């Protein structure tokens, strides 16, 4: 205990100091409890974050990030609160005296008494100490400084503890809630999911095919939850393009087989093979050729023959192989000759073609499903809708058949107001005119400024001699009005100027006139590479 | 002295104070706070400056106090042509019975216990300065001689804040010597009823002399005996420093509007006024709330405000209220 200075009334000073030390001890205990409560709160927050991260981790990355962020913020807040409490903790009897004065309404009596107890005495100081001691004896220390944690801190920690308990016991429910968005996050309806599964089964049948790989990549993009609608749409478009390319290649192969069959038709012993080839049945042609060679298949040939066949496959086409096989005329007695090897190789090539055609046939069956899926994704894609609107705004040339108007006297075809073209230009490609994506309303006849038909047209009667008066109403037609004629002529002048402008400064640096040439060049280049 | 004697002394102090206040209140209505303030100045060995509009009883209050206290009272009406000699006195040539002439100091009206300096701002600063030595040193120097003033010596000055014509601002040194500056406001309506009833009858209320010179001196000693703990004293110092714009403790308002802060006399006034307050509350120690209770009266005339304060119509009371709000009690 702090000893009072000489001069001060010892008993009175002792009473005051005793009270203040008790209050100080209780305040220290309260401070300790406060710190422990904050640390417990910190631990509870960490536990809560851990539980929520477990629940949300895989299903909802955003929720997980939010939980972690909130947890870190709460932790930092609690640590700051704790640090603030530690830094601002001024223990000691002075603080206890001020606390006692404030709580008991003593108006600095204990603070003054504490100071007087440590200083030199005097009559007035002794008197003050005795008064303070009398008040100190009446004070209940437990009431002055009750052992407790601030209610707000306790309530906050209790709330966090409750949340931890809830998160512990309701984890299955939370997991269900959290995984629900996972399924929904792919954005596919059950029907579309079924389509995807069907397409995936098709891909699984020929996983090594280039078309199958492209289709598989598209399906992966569709089922990936972090892929945007635009990504899905592009991936499906690529898959669609690969399927279409495969169909083209299959058609090309059938055409090649047909022509090959026609050429082999006259050769001896190859009639049945030629017939099978002409029918496009590569598998049957291979079987016939195999039967003719008397060999069980390409796999039955020796290692040397296989290696040689691999080498020749890169050098000769199928027709030459078949012609060589035809010249061999059947079995060889002395082992594998070049002709027999060519026959085996022809069989292998035909089998391979047959396999590719079968795969392609399977893929072709999936085209409809793929188109349906592509359409569903495209309808959800806001970007495609926006691009479509942009295209519609840029290219205001409507289709030839749209915008026809039924009016008295017949049907007003809008061809008078729309430039007729033998075929659609590239600018019209992908526009709303007749495209699958576009079901838009046709533009006004003359663009944004719509001129009434009564102004554009004038009725002209056909002079028909001898006809009765009442029938003359049918002998008239719509002709171009003068105003309309002038407007079209002016537009033609403007169009020529615009065309000249486009010729000189096209945005792609390719003039309109040469675009088709350039496109064809690259298309042929691509075919040549294949 | 025992604790019992101290308690008795405090009790005596409070009784005397109460008697004076009650007696003055028989004449002065609705100004209890100013009565206590004037008594506090008297007992703290200070002087008081009363500021108020004409006709609200400033002079009457002082006259009544002089009637209640058994002290020598003099009144000086300050006018522009008043000279210092008219206040402190002058040396005159006297001739005795034998016909020899000698110089004799003729005491002025300042040689009294209770001096009423009425409308002090009407005299020139030169004449106002005549009070400086008397108020601070309790003595008057004239003709090469220093004449001590009889205790208690208490100056009550009044001034009118409205009239500017023919008035002179009090010098800062003069203002600083006033312990308190009390503002007398217009009395409330119910107090006006009492004032009318008391002052419009055939006879004015009469007060008795209830306190003598010796009792007042004893009460002054009692005030000085009250101990002050260092933390409380620190609070008074913090308040004073907070009025200095260059101080670290200065508030935002102080830095913006105050040119010069309170002098150490302000801190002395805070402590002494708080001691009187503590005794009146039957306490043997000074509390922070005692200091806050007298802070406005003790410091408002010690702040020299800058032009911004005048432009923004910010007065000392607003700045001090802000200081009191922001300066924390010592922990």
**Residue of A9, A112, A114, A116 to mutate for B, most B C-beta atoms under 10 A:** A112
Residues 71-130 of A with CB under 8 A from B: 90, 94-95, 98, 107-109, 111-116, 122-128, 130
Report whether pLDDT(B17) > 90. yes
**Mean pLDDT along residues B99-112:** 87
What whole-number distance in Å separates Cα of residue B263 and Cα of residue B243? 10
Report whether pLDDT(A429) > 70. no
Residue in chain B nearest A129 by alpha carbon: B284
Cβ neighbours for A5, distance < 8 A, ≥ 6 positions apart: A117, A118, A119, A120, A121
pLDDT per residue over A87-133, tens digit each?
A: 777 678 888 888 888 888 888 888 899 988 888 778 898 899 989 99
Question: What confidence category does residue A394 fall into, taking pLDDT thresholds of 50, 70 and 90?
Answer: very low
Torsion of CA B253, B254, B258, B260, to 10 degrees: 180
The answer to whether the CB of A141 falls within 8 A of the CB of A23 is yes
Highest-confidence segment of A45-54, A174-183, A217-226, B182-191: B182-191
Res B163: pLDDT: 67
Residue in chain B nearest A127 by alpha carbon: B3
Cβ separation B232–A111 shorter than 8 A: yes
Report whether pLDDT(B66) > 70. yes
Strand A476-480 versus strand A457-461 pairing type: antiparallel
Least confident window among A352-356, B133-137, B138-142: A352-356
The answer to whether the CB of A346 falls within 8 A of the CB of A325 is yes
* Residue B225 with chain A: CB contacts under 8 Å: 123-124
Report whether pLDDT(A5) > 70. no
Report whether pLDDT(A79) > 60. yes
Report whether pLDDT(B272) > 90. yes
Question: What confidence category does residue A59 fall into, taking pLDDT thresholds of 50, 70 and 90?
Answer: low
**Mean pLDDT along residues A199-208:** 77
Minimum distance, in Å, between the CA of residue A225 and any CA atom of chain B: 58
Res B267: pLDDT: 95
Residue in chain A nearest B290 by alpha carbon: A107
What percentage of residues in chain B have a pLDDT greater than 90?
Answer: 46
**Closest C-alpha among B55, B61, B63 to residue B160:** B55
Cβ separation B285–A94 shorter than 8 A: no
* Residue B5 with chain A: CB contacts under 8 Å: 123
**Residue-by-residue DSSP string for A140-182:** -HHHHS-----HHHHHHHHHHHHHHHHHHHTHHHHHHHHHHHH
The answer to whether the CB of B170 falls within 8 A of the CB of B120 is yes
Res A177: pLDDT: 60
What percentage of residues in chain B have a pLDDT greater than 70?
Answer: 99
Res B261: pLDDT: 93
Minimum distance, in Å, between the CA of residue A157 and any CA atom of chain B: 30
Res A315: pLDDT: 40
Domains of chain B by start residue, with CATH: 1-225 (3.40.50.300), 227-331 (1.10.8.80)
Report whether pLDDT(A224) > 90. no
Question: What confidence category does residue A419 fall into, taking pLDDT thresholds of 50, 70 and 90?
Answer: very low
DSSP 8-state class, residue B280: H
* Residue A123 with chain B: CB contacts under 8 Å: 1-3, 5-6, 225
* Residue B222 with chain A: CB contacts under 8 Å: none
Strand B211-212 versus strand B69-70 pairing type: parallel
**Closest C-alpha among A97, A85, A77, A199 to residue A145:** A97
What whole-number distance in Å separates Cα of residue B147 and Cα of residue A371? 120
Cβ separation A123–B229 shorter than 8 A: no
Least confident window among A75-89, A386-400, A456-470, B123-137: A386-400
- In terms of C-beta distances under 8 Å and separation of at least 24 residues, what long-range contacts does B236-242 make, across chains too? B236/B267, B236/B270, B236/B271, B236/B274, B236/B291, B237/B267, B238/B327, B238/B330, B239/B267, B239/B270, B239/B291, B239/B295, B239/B299, B239/B323, B239/B324, B239/B327, B240/B264, B240/B266, B240/B267, B240/B270, B240/B299, B242/B323, B242/B326, B242/B327
Angle at A59 (CA atoms; ends A56, A62), nearest 5 degrees = 70
pLDDT per residue over A432-445, tens digit each?
A: 444 444 444 444 44
What whole-number distance in Å separates Cα of residue A278 and Cα of residue A372? 34
pLDDT per residue over A20-58, tens digit each?
A: 988 888 888 888 888 888 888 888 888 888 877 777 766
Res A189: pLDDT: 76
ipTM computed for the complex: 0.87
Report whether pLDDT(B93) > 90. no
Average pLDDT, chain B: 89
Question: What confidence category does residue B173 fall into, taking pLDDT thresholds of 50, 70 and 90?
Answer: confident
Strand A457-461 versus strand B145-148 pairing type: unpaired
Residues comprising chain A, all counted: 530
Minimum distance, in Å, between the CA of residue B228 and any CA atom of chain A: 7
Res B266: pLDDT: 94
The answer to whether the CB of B105 falls within 8 A of the CB of B89 is yes
What whole-number distance in Å separates Cα of residue A262 and Cα of residue A444? 55
Residue A499: count other Cβ atoms within 10 Å of its Cβ. 12
What whole-number distance in Å separates Cα of residue B284 and Cα of residue B1? 14
Cβ separation A112–B287 shorter than 8 A: yes
More confident position, A26 or A430: A26
Res B165: pLDDT: 73
Question: What confidence category does residue B254 fall into, taking pLDDT thresholds of 50, 70 and 90?
Answer: very high
Q: Which of B226, B231, B281 sits opposite A115 (nearest CB)?
A: B231
Q: Which of B6, B229, B287 sits opposite A123 (nearest CB)?
A: B6
CA–CA distance from A450 to each of A413, A487, A496 (Å)? 16, 12, 22
Cβ neighbours for B232, distance < 8 A, ≥ 6 positions apart: A108, A111, A112, B274, B285, B286, B287, B288, B291, B330
Residue A290, phi then psi, degrees to nearest 5: -65, -45
Cβ neighbours for A269, distance < 8 A, ≥ 6 positions apart: A292, A326, A329, A330
* Residue A124 with chain B: CB contacts under 8 Å: 6, 225-227, 284
- B125: tokens are 């600063």
Cβ separation A122–B227 shorter than 8 A: yes
Q: Which of B1, B229, B283 sits opposite A115 (nearest CB)?
A: B229
Q: Which of B1, B281, B284 sits opposite A128 (nearest CB)?
A: B284
Res A424: pLDDT: 47
* Residue B2 with chain A: CB contacts under 8 Å: 123
Cβ separation B227–A112 shorter than 8 A: yes
Beta-carbon pairs below 8 A across chains A and B: 62
Torsion of CA B263, B39, A110, A27, to 10 degrees: -60
Average pLDDT, chain A: 71
Locate the domains of chain A by residue range: 10-169, 188-395
**Closest C-alpha among A164, A160, A189, A185 to residue A174:** A164
Which neighbouring-strand residues pair with A477? A460
What percentage of residues in chain A have a pLDDT greater than 90?
Answer: 1
Burial class (CB in 10 A: 0-12, 13-18, 19+), A429: exposed
The answer to whether the CB of B94 falls within 8 A of the CB of B101 is yes
Angle at B25 (CA atoms; ends B21, B31), nearest 5 degrees = 95
pLDDT per residue over A259-309, tens digit each?
A: 777 777 777 677 777 788 777 777 787 787 777 766 444 443 344 444 444
What whole-number distance in Å separates Cα of residue B131 and Cα of residue B76? 12
Res A35: pLDDT: 85
Angle at B6 (CA atoms; ends B4, B7), nearest 5 degrees = 65
Res A392: pLDDT: 40
Helix, strand, coil percentages for chain B (3-state, nearest 5): 50, 15, 35
**Mean pLDDT along residues A221-239:** 77
Residues of B with CB under 8 A from a CB of A: 1-3, 5-7, 225-232, 281, 283-289, 329, 331
| Kind and range of the H or E run holding A476 | strand A476-480
**Residue of B284, B287, B291 to mutate for A, most A C-beta atoms under 10 A:** B284
Residue B300, phi then psi, degrees to nearest 5: -65, -30
More confident position, A523 or B293: B293
Res B300: pLDDT: 92
Res B242: pLDDT: 94
CA–CA distance from A236 to each of A218, A230, A468 (Å)? 5, 10, 66
Q: How far apart are the first and last CA of chain A?
A: 101
Q: Which residue has the tokens 């303070």?
A: A132
| Kind and range of the H or E run holding B5 | helix B3-25
Report whether pLDDT(B30) > 50. yes
Which neighbouring-strand residues pair with B154? B114
Q: Which of A94, A115, A131 sits opposite B284 (nearest CB)?
A: A131
pLDDT per residue over B177-236, tens digit each?
A: 899 999 988 888 888 888 888 878 777 778 888 888 899 999 999 999 999 999 999 999
* Residue B281 with chain A: CB contacts under 8 Å: 107
* Residue B231 with chain A: CB contacts under 8 Å: 94, 108, 111, 115
């Amino acid at each position: 205990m702090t000893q009072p200075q000489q001069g001060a009334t010892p008993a009175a000073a002792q009473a005051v100091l005793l009270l203040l030390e008790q209050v100080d001890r209780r305040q220290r205990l309260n401070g300790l409890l406060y710190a422990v409560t904050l640390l417990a709160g910190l631990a509870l927050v960490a536990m809560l974050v851990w539980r929520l991260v477990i629940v949300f981790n895989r299903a909802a990355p955003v929720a997980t990030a939010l939980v972690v962020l909130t947890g870190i913020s709460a932790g930092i807040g609690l640590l700051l609160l704790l640090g603030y409490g530690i830094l601002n903790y001024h223990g000691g009897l002075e603080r206890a005296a001020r606390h006692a004065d404030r709580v008991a309404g003593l108006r600095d009596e204990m603070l003054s008494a504490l100071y007087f107890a440590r200083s030199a005495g005097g009559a007035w100081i002794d008197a003050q100490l005795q008064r303070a001691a009398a008040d100190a004896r009446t004070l209940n220390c437990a009431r002055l400084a009750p052992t407790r944690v601030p209610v707000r801190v306790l309530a906050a920690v209790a709330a966090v503890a409750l949340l931890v308990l809830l998160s512990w016991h309701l984890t299955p429910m939370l997991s269900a809630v959290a995984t629900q968005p996972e399924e929904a996050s792919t954005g596919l309806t059950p029907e579309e999911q079924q389509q995807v599964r069907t397409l995936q089964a098709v891909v699984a049948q020929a996983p090594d095919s280039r078309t199958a790989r492209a289709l598989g990549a598209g399906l992966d993009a569709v089922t990936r939850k972090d892929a945007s609608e635009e990504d899905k749409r592009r991936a499906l478009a690529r898959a669609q393009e690969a399927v279409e390319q495969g169909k083209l290649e299959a058609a090309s192969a059938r055409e090649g087989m047909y022509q090959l069959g026609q050429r082999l038709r006259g050769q001896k012993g190859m009639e049945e093979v030629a017939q099978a080839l002409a029918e496009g049945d590569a598998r049957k042609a291979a079987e016939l050729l195999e039967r003719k060679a008397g060999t069980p298949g390409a796999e039955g040939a020796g290692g040397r023959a296989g290696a040689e066949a691999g080498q020749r496959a890169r050098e000769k086409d199928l027709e030459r192989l078949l012609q060589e096989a035809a010249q061999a005329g059947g079995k060889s007695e002395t082992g594998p000759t070049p002709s027999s090897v060519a026959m085996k190789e022809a069989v292998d090539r035909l089998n391979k073609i047959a396999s590719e055609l079968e795969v392609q046939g399977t893929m072709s069956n999936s085209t409809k499903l793929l188109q349906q899926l592509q359409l569903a994704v495209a309808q959800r894609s806001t970007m495609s809708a926006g691009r479509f609107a942009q295209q519609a705004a840029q290219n205001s040339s409507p289709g030839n058949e749209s915008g026809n108007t039924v009016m008295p006297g017949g049907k007003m075809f809008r061809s008078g107001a729309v430039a007729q073209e033998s075929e659609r230009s590239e600018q019209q490609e992908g526009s709303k005119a007749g495209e699958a994506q576009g079901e838009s309303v046709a533009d006004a006849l003359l663009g944004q400024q719509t001129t009434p038909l009564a102004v554009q047209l004038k009725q002209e009667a056909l002079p028909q001699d001898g006809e009765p008066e009442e029938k003359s109403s049918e002998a008239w037609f719509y002709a171009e009005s003068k105003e309309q004629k002038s407007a079209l002529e002016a537009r033609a002048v403007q169009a020529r100027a615009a065309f000249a402008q486009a010729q000189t400064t096209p945005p792609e640096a390719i003039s309109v006139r040469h675009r088709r040439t350039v496109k064809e060049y690259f298309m042929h280049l691509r075919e040549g590479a294949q | 002295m025992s604790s019992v004697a101290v308690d008795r002394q405090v009790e005596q102090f409070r009784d005397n104070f109460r008697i004076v206040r009650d007696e003055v209140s028989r004449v002065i209505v609705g100004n209890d706070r100013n009565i206590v303030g004037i008594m506090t100045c008297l007992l703290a060995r200070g002087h008081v400056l009363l500021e108020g509009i004409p006709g609200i009883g400033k002079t009457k209050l002082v006259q009544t106090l002089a009637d209640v206290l058994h002290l020598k009272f003099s009144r000086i009406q300050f006018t522009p042509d008043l000279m210092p000699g008219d206040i402190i006195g002058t040396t005159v040539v006297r001739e005795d019975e034998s016909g020899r002439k000698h110089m004799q100091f003729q005491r002025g009206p300042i040689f009294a216990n209770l001096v009423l300096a009425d409308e002090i701002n009407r005299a020139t600063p030169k004449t106002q300065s005549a009070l400086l030595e008397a108020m601070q040193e309790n003595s008057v120097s004239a003709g090469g001689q220093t004449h001590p003033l009889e205790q208690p010596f208490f100056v009550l000055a009044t001034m009118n804040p409205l009239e500017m014509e023919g008035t002179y601002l009090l010098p800062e040194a003069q203002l600083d010597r006033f312990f308190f500056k009390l503002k007398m406001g217009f009395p409330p309506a119910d107090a006006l009823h009492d004032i009318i009833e008391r002052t419009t009858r055939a006879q004015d209320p009469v007060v008795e002399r209830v306190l003598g010179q010796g009792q007042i001196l004893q009460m002054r000693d009692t005030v000085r005996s009250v101990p002050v703990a260092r933390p409380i004293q620190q609070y008074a110092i913090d308040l004073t420093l907070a009025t200095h714009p260059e101080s670290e403790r200065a508030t935002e308002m102080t830095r913006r509007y105050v040119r010069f802060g309170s002098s150490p006399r302000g801190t002395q006034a805070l402590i002494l006024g708080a001691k009187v307050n503590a005794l009146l509350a039957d306490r043997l120690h000074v509390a922070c709330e005692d200091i806050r209770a007298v802070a406005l009266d003790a410091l408002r005339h010690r702040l020299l405000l800058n032009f911004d304060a005048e432009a923004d119509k910010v007065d000392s009371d607003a700045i001090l209220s802000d200081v009191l709000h922001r300066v924390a009690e010592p922990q």
